[in-house]
Structure 1
């Protein structure tokens, strides 16, 4: 039975904005929850990835804040948002904001995002001007709260999205502190694929007599998703993966490690199949650029680690390839959920080496997926049928040589665990966007890393990336150079040499 947004009581301005994007009929999770959320009740919504949860909470957030604003019960105040949406990763926060903005604009509500991995200046300025709705990752939000830049005592409605993933990443202590900072009588909405790992405790603690809406089992596969297991000899795996990537539609290739994601994106591009990578070692501008290229069709292939298993919400992904089978079944389901979203169909391929046969069988059994492995290589008929129309090969663009006298970037990944000391005051420990609050380290990507934006102090780290400030070294390994502001670099084999900027560079 077709259920329209209008029939569910969604305000006319929001219905119009949704219709402009071709969204006129509510998905199951939206139809199940909107009556309660629009009425102001607390709701616990459980639905698998790709079921439409983002709109299920975005609509009531905008509708209820718009009504409160019209009634004069709230007003935009510097540093005090009235709507809060918490998300586990910056990719997800960015995409929630993208879905939320068209609705918020109809009610003159201002939306901003808050996450680590970028300098906080723009976020601080947004709060200074005044924000109605903030979509935030827990770590950076706690940082800003601790600095007195943002307070949550005016929040009318709070949403926890992908609560189970926040639990997996160790965010629940921070989420608990954030929730305690919001008014106890505010409306709370919690959406999650599962209710384990402490999510149920969170719901009992902060939701008041919530209505539970569960549209499917936590582990239920998407009916429109077809699963395949291709068993391939080790020496033929690379050719098979390249063939799977060669189709004309969008596809995501998942790897276990950041190194493999980089390697595959580079290899495919050099072979005429433009690809971008997505993993925890990328800066936020790099992530945004790569995701944008994938979303707008500039490239058709995204090679990602599990950082993208819940953070990528792009329509029209026809194929997901598990280049490396994931470690556990929940990761398999979330990776696979990038395709067959919101009623569309899609295919999922697991590339399996003979020695992985037993582990893959166990993985699929736990995920409640019934599929028989089949021998395959790049020339198999099953592969040819699945890939379909091949995209034209694209000649790789030549790399432009660096200009004479240009200086290397200060934000390149480090190669070692050296230590640089410099700067004007004390020592700092950088986390490249991952923050420590109350002794807890928060990783706003699914893969956290150390080192980074250590201001006026020392940056320590293994595989680090960051910006060095006033004689600060942010790269590990052997150091060279001395700073002009009293900074020195040590660690590994030191080399002397003047540095105009005071930046200690470690090889």
Structure 2
């Protein structure tokens, strides 16, 4: 196989989609969606991918990779004369998580509709019967997680011999999750001469195996190093007493705007969500213990602004794309620097600015110092407690609390309803400031999602005492 040809991608571009070769109907559909200027990864890859070349696109999360692979898929299928056959998708997009697959489909669907193309999303955790029916009806663009698609292939409900173009999105994350064996089995069932596009934040050994085995003379385009920080992202480490972690989190998450909080464990995410809701902060959780309908509902509440805060494990570090996340909080420092960068990449996306806060207790100082050094981050480190003015600088705006739901887990035996808990007096400071709108926007969103989680009995405080290097219960 010939060596991959690297491409040096410009940091900015004024090229239009039409200049890059995107068909007129697609350009019109993009403009209808308010998208007129390509991001660097799109400007770099589209000329080659639209020409039918195999492409390896490397860029940080949030760099615009979805349109970079969606547009050539849509352009190719709309121009082709091949029919839509039962059970035989014409293109395949593989994604590592259900949330990412759903969001890819949401991005592609309006454009596909404009071109009279049919899309379908397939993943586990839901009934397979509707998926089988949709496959039988014929699909142009299949967006799938590897495990459930492999099930449909094994039962004969999905046949991949008509796939004209295959996309692997977040390939390095698929490698991290152990999906590469099933991905290889799926790729082996696609036509060997079909076009293949692989997008990845990093090119680790497992991903490189895929590139060498399945991409034919690929063109490589890189935008930013996956390990380099985003210029518009500011990093802070708050050194706090263990007992002050929750009050500090309540203060930060009660500010306007969307906040994404990461914990190490699923139990920790559930417990912290319950604590925030009980303190009057509308919050929802996202982790592997939730049923798919709950994951979808909670992510939708966060995306719509019904819940200002999403508490998640690393399942959300690479699996969700939500606009306007102003603040990312590492309530538990992650296990490795790559996870830190991917978690942090949920903010400062698509040219926006953002703030990243890591909570660090005294026993985590050495680990956090090593973590940030390996990530290439030079954060501002501050020792503080509840009520510190820096908290209002990091998360500007008036702190707003809603009445938490009344607990219903035990009968009251004739007594009146339980008294609702009020916010911690150390954190309910109000405090509108002159910088209230900086980076977070004006927000007066509904808080109807506040009652979507209940406190587990006897659950320990979120990830209490965990060291940075531990990976137990991560997702």
TM-score (norm 2): 0.83
Deviations 1:126-158 (A, max 9, x none): 101111111011111111000010100000000
TM-score (norm 1): 0.78
The match for 1:9 is 21
Q: Is the 8 A contact 2:235 2:380 kept in 1?
A: no
The match for 1:353 is 361
Mapped partners of 2:386, 2:50: distance in 1: 52
The match for 1:469 is none
Equivalent in 183, 192, 205 of residue 184 of structure 1: 192
Mapped partners of 2:120, 2:21: distance in 1: 27
- Deviation, structure 1 residue 401: 8.2
Mapped partners of 2:20, 2:244: distance in 1: 53
Mapped partners of 1:446, 1:108: distance in 2: 41
CA RMSD of aligned residues (A): 1.7
3-state SS of the aligned residue for 2:86? coil
In the TM superposition, 1:245-394 aligns within 5 A as 245-394=253-402
- Deviation, structure 1 residue 3: 2.1
| Residue 22 in structure 1 maps to residue 30 in structure 2 | no
Mapped partners of 2:17, 2:408: distance in 1: 51
Deviations 1:323-370 (A, max 9, x none): 000000010001000000111100000000011011001001110001
The match for 1:47 is 59
The match for 1:105 is 113
Deviations 1:83-138 (A, max 9, x none): 10001111111111110101111111111111111110111111011111110111
Equivalent in 13, 31, 34 of residue 46 of structure 2: 34
Note closer, same or farther for the CA distance 1:375–1:25 as it changes in structure 2 (3 Å cut): same
| Residue 222 in structure 1 maps to residue 234 in structure 2 | no
Deviations 1:367-423 (A, max 9, x none): 0001242112221121121111134311124467899xxxxxxxxxxx9xxxxxxxx
Moved over 2 A (4+): 396-403
Mapped partners of 1:378, 1:16: distance in 2: 51
Q: Is the 8 A contact 1:168 1:197 kept in 2?
A: no
Mapped partners of 2:229, 2:67: distance in 1: 21
Mapped partners of 1:55, 1:398: distance in 2: 44
Mapped partners of 2:102, 2:16: distance in 1: 27
Mapped partners of 1:391, 1:7: distance in 2: 47
Larger relative CO (CA 8 A, sep 6+): 1 or 2? 2
Mapped partners of 1:89, 1:138: distance in 2: 9
Q: Is the 8 A contact 1:158 1:189 kept in 2?
A: yes
Note closer, same or farther for the CA distance 1:136–1:356 as it changes in structure 2 (3 Å cut): same
Mapped partners of 2:74, 2:406: distance in 1: 47
Deviations 1:425-445 (A, max 9, x none): xxxxxxxxxxxxxxxxxxxx9
The match for 1:412 is none
Mapped partners of 1:364, 1:22: distance in 2: 37
Q: Is the 8 A contact 1:28 1:215 kept in 2?
A: yes
Q: Is the 8 A contact 1:376 1:383 kept in 2?
A: no
3-state SS of the aligned residue for 1:6? coil
* Unaligned runs of at least 5 residues, structure 1: 404-414, 416-444, 448-507
Mapped partners of 2:352, 2:200: distance in 1: 21
Mapped partners of 2:372, 2:409: distance in 1: 47
- Deviation, structure 1 residue 173: 0.8
Number of residues of Structure 1 aligned to a counterpart in Structure 2: 403
